[in-house]
Amino acid sequence: MLKDINMRGAMQKMIEGAQDKFCTALSAIDDTPFQEDKWERKEGGGGRTRVLSDGPVLEKAGVNISVVHGTLSEEAMSQMGGGQNAQSREFFATGLSTVIHPRNPFAPTMHANVRYFERGAEDAPEDWWFGGGSDLTPCYLFEEDAQHFHQTWKNICDDSPGADYPHYKQWCDEYFFIPHRQEHRGVGGIFFDNLKSHAPELHFAFIEKIAMALSEAYLPILEKRKDHPYEDAHKEWQEVRRGRYVEFNLVYDRGTRFGLNTDGRIESILMSLPLKARWEYQHQPAPGSHEEKTLETLKTPKDWI
């Protein structure tokens, strides 16, 4: 298992560095500082939340890290993922989570997270596993953006023993799906959970590459689209699509439910929600429009590379 590896410490150091790196890059583009809140959880642990809101480029951006531990409720155990064979209800969880909502409707939303869990005592965990992923959610589809995003993650998977891009890509398409809309949240990326089939240091190296490549995957897209001309109608469509983002996160996202069921910090859990969203009755895009093309793609996933 992990008796010779201080994975808890390695993960904390890594996510702190990844948070610093990505926040620095985002602040340089937006020329706006992040608001930082350091918080403690009464049951054990805490975190560092950084949020940028209402900037010239980023309407809302959050880059959070957390290191928490305690005792799981029965409901939280059902949401936790791996470790179902562990008897102990004691847990340790740490990770980085980021969601970027740009102001320009032609620039896509991006989400990413990496995480590590243990069940049982620190000196002799009964089970451990890694999870994470990243997905892109455009309001207006540009195929070259989706191709760049997917290629970044495929390159990392190809360079990481045990990682499987085709499997993680399909997993992402299946996970970020809104059943009551019969729509996928975006154009996908990669998603994985319960990684423990290889030595822990191999899985750690893989998710470290993901955490450190957030700028590489997303910022070229943001730079390309942030100054794209737009009108009020484009913003209205963006807010309708962000309503879909809210629906998925509040109804289906397992991480949101886990946070709520472990008495997590509400402000940090709901950081992923956009600053503005809307719901219009029976809203449909105009036939033949860019909006309709994007919606059609969200209904049927495709291979981007």
Q: Kindly report the CATH number that applies to the domain delimited by 7-299.
A: 3.40.1500.10
CA distances from 170 to 9, 135, 159 (A): 32, 12, 19
pLDDT for 1 equals 46
Distance CA 189, CA 191 (A): 7
Task: Please say if the pLDDT value at position 289 is more than 90.
Answer: yes
Task: Please say if the pLDDT value at position 201 is more than 70.
Answer: yes
DSSP state of 122: T
Q: Is the pTM here over 0.95, yes or no? A: no
Cβ-based neighbours of 144, under 8 Å, separated by 6 or more: none
Tally of CB atoms within 10 A around 229: 7
Q: Which of 111, 148, 150, 184 is catalytic?
A: 111
Mean pLDDT rounded to a whole number for the chain: 92
Q: Is 290 a catalytic residue?
A: no
What does the pLDDT look like over 210-259, one tens digit per residue? 999 999 999 999 999 999 999 999 999 999 999 999 999 999 998 888 77
Q: For the chain, which residues make up each domain, given as ranges?
A: 7-299
Distance CA 187, CA 153 (A): 13
Query: 279-300 as b/e, with b when 16 or more CB fall inside 10 Å?
Result: eeeeeeeeeeebbeebbebbee
DSSP state of 108: P
Average pLDDT over residues 135-150: 98
What does the pLDDT look like over 84-135, one tens digit per residue? 556 677 889 999 999 999 999 999 999 999 999 999 887 778 899 999 999 9
